[in-house]
Structure 1
Amino acid sequence: MYKKYFDAHFHWFDHSAFSDRLSSNIGDLDTKEYFLETYGRYGMTGGIMMGNGEIEKQGDSLPDGFYYCVGLDQIACTDDIREALPAIEKHLQREKCVGVKLYPGYVPLYPHDECYVEVLELLLKYNKTLAVHTGMLAALSGKLKYAHPIHLDDIAVDYPELRIVMCHFGNPFLAEAAAVMEHNRNVYADLSGLLEGLFVTEHFVKTEELYISNLKTWIRYIGEPERFLFGTDWPAVKCDEYVKFIASLFDEKEIEQVLRYNAYQAYNIKYDTRTCVNDQ
């Protein structure tokens, strides 16, 4: 029987060259319809789409049980952000919009850059969550220095009431990512994007013991599994196989919380089985 899960980090790119390449690598189709139909059968109960592209077009036509973070991946300077603030606020007024996603590294700005101050204030105003890309970049043109997880410490300390999700657990900067989480209890980590492409969990766990051990070490170092969220970063991986991989990192008694419920806390989503697809 498939484990049920809430996918707290996936993308619908709408047939970009980048997403077409990723989906082709795993034998999937890069469409919303394919994602919902295929993984709904495998146990997906809902999720959070991380926005990309034009702000005005993000978050439309989401089915019940699904939410989104408005993504600022095309924001590259202070003037861009100021111009986008009315649109960002309009998104945050929607129930379906649970936060803002920053893309440091892809965008040449540190997440604690002062140009984001008004965005952070809007998140506090509407009690929404900040999600931030951290760690390795999919594109070779970006700069890793902006995406290092240590930079979240500045935001977390200065805004202790703000919930922050460190996307990808800062991978491969796991020690620094864990240090930021230990220092700031308002920081969560999603475990999306730790792998890419096709893999078989049972084989990967055996052949990559050092990497698995490293992941487990820093997860255990935090000692609070309730602060880790399941996400896939689809179309980077097949979601059903990624569930097995993430489940292998936790004790059996912790798995359901990580796969399903921790995201509701991190993103302040009121859980209701009537609004979650395939959640019976």
Structure 2
Amino acid sequence: MDVRDLVAIDVHTHAEVSAKGHSSLDDELHTASSAYFKVEGNRKPTLQEMAAYYRERRMAAVVFTVDAESATGTEPVPNEEVAEAAAANADVLIPFASIDPFRGKAGVKRARRLVEEYGVRGFKFHPGVQGFFPNDRSVAYGLYEVIEETGTIALFHTGQTGIGAGVPGGGGIRLKYSNPLHVDDVAADFPHLRIILAHPSFPWQDEALAVATHKPGVHIDLSGWSPKYFPPQLVQYANTLLKDKVLFGSDFPVLTPDRWLADFEQLPIKDAVKPKILKENAARLLGLTQP
């Protein structure tokens, strides 16, 4: 991957469907989230289609599944499949993985294998869907140890989620798990762990900004929202204190990079900061910076 040729690096995209055709969300949650995001076009692109999509736009994309099988009963898109597709399209796809934190020691062992044998660069956690507090020492701390030791990245969904929105009872998904202050404990307990707080963290935007300002290893991605809806304090911090720690992310395929970038152009982001958000910060964090 030649970073110099890239227009942008999208740090937040989802592998929605496996080669066998199954999704990591059941039909009810999938349909409801499509309605929530007002998705137009192909909601279930294959990994090869994703690679072609980003290659056409001269962008790279971090791609991952979400493993929440203990909570949902639905198998995820296999991590190995994601990693193999990324290896076959290494000019545009960057593999992250997802391990259900309730897999225990087996999950910890699998995480290490995914890094060592499949070249995975990070791990996605969705506390609301997976049903755990990130700072619960009895659940995910073994995974964090592996992630910190291997120098990979922990990416946490934060704030409200479109998954379960509009479904009776929210599909059983509880928003309390996704307060970014829970991740502050993780950042304190694992001081060398590199962390991304995903999304504008509504209704905890100020908490996310505080954590990212206070903890050197914590970054924020801007996925899941059109930039025209960003809270003003997020824009202010992205322009100033957090200009080296804020990252472009779309949440593709529910939100396209085309729409995100068009709306981003309307924000009062300084010209010197835009390339940092769109590419440079992610390149550095992912270890892609050219010598």
1:244 to 262, 272, 280: 262
Q: State the secondary structure of the residue aligned to 1:106.
A: helix
Aligned to 1:84: 107
| Superposed displacement of residue 158, structure 1 | 1.5
1:68 to 92, 95, 104: 95
1:71-220 aligned within 5 A: 71-72=98-99, 75=100, 77=102, 80-94=103-117, 96-114=119-137, 115-138=139-162, 139=164, 140-141=170-171, 142-195=173-226, 205=228, 211-220=230-239
Q: 1:145 to 1:231 in 2, by over 3 A?
A: same
Q: 1:41 to 1:56 in 2, by over 3 A?
A: closer
1:183-203 Cα distance to aligned partner (Å, 9 max, x none): 2111001111124xxxxx8xx
Return the alpha-carbon distance in structure 2 between the equivalents of residues 94 and 264 of structure 1: 22
What's the RMSD between the two structures over aligned residues?
2.6
Q: Does the aligned pair in 2 maintain the 1:76–1:108 contact within 8 Å?
A: no
Gaps of 5+ in 2: 1-5, 67-75, 165-169
| Superposed displacement of residue 30, structure 1 | 2.2
User: TM-score of the superposition, structure 1-length normalised?
Assistant: 0.80
Is it true that 1:271 corresponds to 2:289 in the alignment?
Answer: yes
Q: 1:219 to 1:261 in 2, by over 3 A?
A: closer
| Superposed displacement of residue 271, structure 1 | 3.1
1:28 to 42, 58, 79: 42
| Superposed displacement of residue 171, structure 1 | 3.2
Structure number with higher relative contact order (C-alpha < 8 Å, ≥ 6 residues apart) = 1
Q: State the secondary structure of the residue aligned to 2:96.
A: strand
| Superposed displacement of residue 19, structure 1 | 5.6
Is it true that 1:262 corresponds to 2:288 in the alignment?
Answer: no
Identity %: 21
| Superposed displacement of residue 91, structure 1 | 0.7
Aligned to 1:10: 13
Deviates more, 1:180-189 or 1:240-249: 240-249
| Superposed displacement of residue 55, structure 1 | 4.4
Return the alpha-carbon distance in structure 1 between the equivalents of residues 117 and 278 of structure 2: 25
Return the alpha-carbon distance in structure 1 between the equivalents of residues 15 and 185 of structure 2: 30
Aligned to 1:37: 52
1:219-230 aligned within 5 A: 219-220=238-239, 223-230=241-248
Gaps of 5+ in 1: 196-200, 274-280
Give, as a single letter, the amino acid of the residue that structure 1 aligns with 2:57: Y
Aligned to 1:278: none
Return the alpha-carbon distance in structure 2 between the equivalents of residues 215 and 248 of structure 1: 15
Q: State the secondary structure of the residue aligned to 2:223.
A: coil
Residues matched between the structures, number: 252
Q: 1:137 to 1:30 in 2, by over 3 A?
A: same
